[in-house]
Structure 1
Amino acid sequence: QVVRIDVYNMLGQKVRTLVNKVQAAGNHSVTWDGRNDAGKTVTSGLYLYRIKAGSFVEVKKMLLLK
Structure 2
Amino acid sequence: QWNATDMQGKPVSAGVYLYKIQAGAFIETRKMVFLK
TM-score range, shorter chain: 0.7 to 0.9
What is the CA-CA distance between 1:38 and the residue it aligns to? Answer: 1.0
Tell me, what secondary structure is at the counterpart of 2:32? strand
> Post-superposition, which runs of at least 4 consecutive aligned residues in structure 1 deviate over 3 A?
none
Q: Distance in 2 between matches of 1:49 and 1:65?
A: 16
Q: What is the one-letter code of the residue matched to 1:63?
A: V
| Mapped pair 1:49 → 2:3 | no
Query: What's the % identity of the aligned pairs?
Result: 47
| Mapped pair 1:33 → 2:3 | yes
TM-score of the superposed pair, with normalisation by structure 2 = 0.79
What is the CA-CA distance between 1:37 and the residue it aligns to? Answer: 1.6
Q: What is the one-letter code of the residue matched to 1:55?
A: A
What is the Cα-based RMSD across aligned positions, in Å?
0.9
Aligned residues: 36
Larger Rg: 1
Structure 1 portions without partners, runs of 5+: 1-30
